[in-house]
Structure 1
Amino acid sequence: MRGEVFYNTASEFFSPLQGEEKYRTTGFNEMALIYGTCELSFRKTADLINRKRYQENDGTPYRTIQNITECEGLKIQKHIEQKSEKIISLSDFSHEIINKEDALELYEPIPSELKKEEYTKIIDDFKIKPSLKSKIANNPVPYESLGNAVNISLDDVGVKEQKEKRSKTEQENIDKNETQRKKRKYIQNTVVHIEHKDRNYMLNGYGIFYVLRLLVAFLIHNNINNIILVFYIDGHGLYSKILQFYYWNKKILIILDWYHLVKKCKELLSMAVCGSKIRNDVLDEILPLLWHGLVDEAISYLKSIASEKIRNKKEIEHLIGYLRKNRGIIPAYSVRAKIGLRNSSNRGEKANDLLVAHRQKKNGMSWSRTGSVSLASITALSKNKEYQKWFDHGEIEFKFAS
């Protein structure tokens, strides 16, 4: 009938908006989010947009840019979460993706993909005592094939949490004396860098188990879940969490990052022995042993340090306990380096720098939980080269960037 409305473009063609929200073009989104807030502050992004649009007076305020960033980041996170749940629910792994507390007891190391004669030949060329060569060859951490594994680096990064309200008295104390500042709370973003055959992808989120679940979905979606997964981590805390979540996977390998192992030894020895000279002498002895994966020999040396050289015996015991606890993830780094395998989680730390630290850890900055994760999600969208399809169709392929 005449005058009857069959199709309303205002509500059915375009998604409904809230309050003063406006429809945004793909060009605006790219300028504001990809070339703007991923690299610049909200104020500088607003200035950039207003100059480009010749609206330097009464243009888009920076608070609007901040709200757009937070809303878009939350949409991205929700979309990836829903996509991950769908992928897992349609897979054969759906009944196994659970948190199992006794996973450490169930875990069995995978067999080496390399034949023993391949790496014993490398070990024979090392200029060390012959008695140690067989011990290096018997290191319990296996070797994956070069270029075949999926390399996964995990890292947490904390940014200052924004306070909802600051009292006048507290502000006065901060202004008078910086030492009176209360201990800050931090928001922890977890970032995962995934690498396979020169392709990479980055995931982020709030909490390790949340991100590990996204990782499962990503691996299934890219048909690489049956390949050896090599996790590079910075300590035993992540080790136990990965096993709790991936205990069912029979092709998993966990490596303690060499840099963090060296850093831990330096920190604990600085507190344990008398002076930097003794500390450096001890490091000169134990680091070559640890580089070859000779944990027992390093522990024996630490036990043999003369008592007059020790300032704090508890810290020596702490270091010995640390090495024992991580024995199963300390490989023969020297052999891996000769083969061409990775020993470092530095790609995860670099991913953290790209997604979070570059924008969020500058002096004076503090963030809400949603604001921090949202901005990191948009940056991940950019680095993964997914933003074009997202802005045009509201879809993320969830696949490796070339």
Structure 2
Amino acid sequence: MTVKAIDTNAWADNDWLILGEIGTGNAEVLQVKGSPTDGTSLSVDNAGSGGARYNHAINEPVYRIDFNQVEFNRNTTDTTSGVSVLTTAEVQPDDLFTRFEDTSNTTGFGFVRFKNSETSAFSSYSDGIPYTGYGAKALGRIIRGVRRILSETEADIEHITDQDIIEEVNEKQRDVAHDGGRLWPFYETIRSSSQVANQRRYTIDDNVEIGKAFTITVDSQPMAKIDQDRFNILNWDNLRTEDPTHAGVWNNRIVLWPLPSASASSDTLDGDVTATATTIMLDDVSDFRAPGRALINSEIISYENVLTKTALDGTLTAAATTVTVDSTTDFPSTGTIVIDDEEMTYSGTGSTTFTGVTRGVNSTSAVA
């Protein structure tokens, strides 16, 4: 077989390859026969029984593959320990899928892995595929449903392939079955904009299209979705201002209803933030809600809690069980405080003290 170039670092004797475009009628699996040499010639055979079975035109692709077979397995539980091999089938390069139907079992979980018949090497197992809960055409319906939700067509197959969706279905079975509330992760993007008092419309990227699935939160509160017709009905009172409750996307803008009554909370950092930091110090957090998201420069950071801040009123030894501060106002009667890198719990408060303090909790160390 004459090819454009052979790199002996990439090819070896008994390697498997697919000659022809996958999914076309003359695509076939062949095996390298003999050690290749640098150049343009590659000796192949059909697993020891002659050369290529079909004619191939110039410029047809040649793909090196690690495995030439597919092993289909089953287990009664969703684990690969103790699986039973149902059959081992040759890869079918003239089709996009290599298929097998288990006609003997109706319950359990199926597992698939690839096999190299020359070396007996295997790939990792696939995720478990439940026998029940899906009809014969369920996967096709899921794929079409995903494309419909995302307003994708067959013309977009290079952007989101069927295989992308299949892999996501296998990985996220529980999310799909129980409506986890998330977009498909391979398609998710996050954009952030600061709310401005009395500003209804916020420009977003040009590649956000009408009809795409989206979720909008304002101060961590999810907005009800609204289309343009519904917005026009609601917006008869176009001067009404309060916390927004509805949001829509059209004309490359996010549109909020009603008008925001206040701008987004903002403050300044009280110290540097490292790439691995899990606590961020601000001058004042009184206007922030929890949980929520903060925008620092161009990075969006999600946070779970907002911590009240005070200052030490004197030195603190590593053995102290009472911590004296400027004020304990706004702190709960029991809880956890953080000083530098040390976390400590307390069981009581005075006006300027935390009492019953346990030092160095949550894998931190008590320090002076």
TM-score, structure 1 as length reference:
0.18
* Greater Rg over alpha carbons, structure: 2
Structure number with greater CO (CA < 8 Å, separation at least 6) is 1
TM-score, structure 2 as length reference:
0.19
Q: Identify, as 1 or 2, the structure richer in strand.
A: 2
Q: Identify, as 1 or 2, the structure richer in helix.
A: 1
